[in-house]
Amino acid sequence: MKLLRYGPAGAEKPGLLDKDGNVRDLSNVVPDISGETLRSAALYALKEIDPASLPLVPGTPQADLRLGPCVGNIGKFVCIGLNYADHAEEAGMPIPEEPIIFNKWTSAICGPNDPIQIPRGSVKTDWEVELGVVISDPGAYIKEANAMDHVAGYCVINDVSERDFQLNRAGTWDKGKGCDTFGPTGPWLVTLDEVSDVSDLSMWLDVDAERMQDGTTATLIFKIPNLIAYCSQFMSLQPGDVISTGTPPGVGMGQKPARYLAGGETVSLGIDGLGEQRSLVLAAKT
């Protein structure tokens, strides 16, 4: 299934994408694509529904029908740094011995086509296409062998980052990662039955139609089961939590010379089978 949330920001309704690319309304079935709806048993029940039996939502998704973040009320937005071997190389940093964890504040989360707002004082706003993992059943100290039992599915994430805030502002990476609009998520949550193997998915990102990132999940250092098991040592994972798993090379910081967003650009990105995003970048407000 491809689960989504549609409608005005802050008032999104649950839906799913049918085989013809139309949105079907799930409002009479579940309250939202979040929390308890994402547990394994609840997802199984949704899969038993014939999409044709659901009300058809007028409009074309990501055109005249706005999509919100594909998961609502995300409790934790956990991110993994330097998790692609070729990205670590371009950053001039050693391969981590264990996963690097940081967080995005949930106020950063927005829809897949919502504008990206450069924050005040920014001089190095950057882009990062990433594979997002959405948690289904809760757990702590999860064993790697059982980790996939805790996955609802996958989605596309743009880990927008302000590098000066991240690296030069006397603190953790979080300062440059959680600004408002720095977490476009979606367009949809693709459940495991449609993406059984994420070991070699192509992923890409363009700025104004110029290809900047062109990678594959094959170069992930720490794979999905390992990341889930690792993160669950430090926090219990809950239904609807999201883990953003890192980015391949081609970020602005890694360009020669470095290149950053100033406003007016369009950032487009996608991952095979998981959909695409397209966001207008807004210059910093004075």
Instruction: Give the mean pLDDT of 140-159.
Output: 98
Provide the pLDDT for residue 93: 78
**Which of 103, 169, 142 is CA-nearest to residue 227?**
142
Asked if residue 44 belongs to a domain, the reply is: no
Structural domain containing residue 255: 71-282
Q: In this predicted model, what pLDDT tens digit does every residue of 25-61 receive, in sequence order?
A: 999 999 999 999 999 999 999 999 999 999 999 999 9
The alpha carbon torsion through 179, 180, 182, 188 (nearest 10 deg) reads 150
DSSP state of 94: P
Q: In this predicted model, what pLDDT tens digit does every residue of 82-101 receive, in sequence order?
A: 999 888 888 777 889 999 99
The answer to whether residue 284 scores a pLDDT higher than 80 is: yes
Asked if residue 100 belongs to a domain, the reply is: yes
Instruction: Give the mean pLDDT of 1-19.
Output: 98
User: Is the sign of the CA dihedral 221, 227, 242, 181 positive or negative?
Assistant: negative
Asked if residue 192 belongs to a domain, the reply is: yes
State the Cα angle at 30 between 24 and 35, rounded to 5°. Answer: 120
**Total domains, the chain:** 1
| Mean pLDDT of the residues in the chain | 96
CA distance 80 to 43: 26
Phi–psi pair at 245, nearest 5 degrees = -95, 5
Q: Residue for token digits 């991110």?
A: 79
Asked if residue 88 belongs to a domain, the reply is: yes
> 115 Cβ partners below 8 Å, 6+ apart?
181, 279, 280, 281, 282
Asked if residue 41 belongs to a domain, the reply is: no
The answer to whether residue 139 scores a pLDDT higher than 90 is: yes
Asked if residue 246 belongs to a domain, the reply is: yes
Asked if residue 47 belongs to a domain, the reply is: no
The CATH number of the domain where 134 resides is what? 3.90.850.10
Dig out the tokens for 219 from the structure.
Answer: 């170069």
Largest Cα span, the chain:
55
Asked if residue 8 belongs to a domain, the reply is: no
Q: H or E element: which one contains 113?
A: none
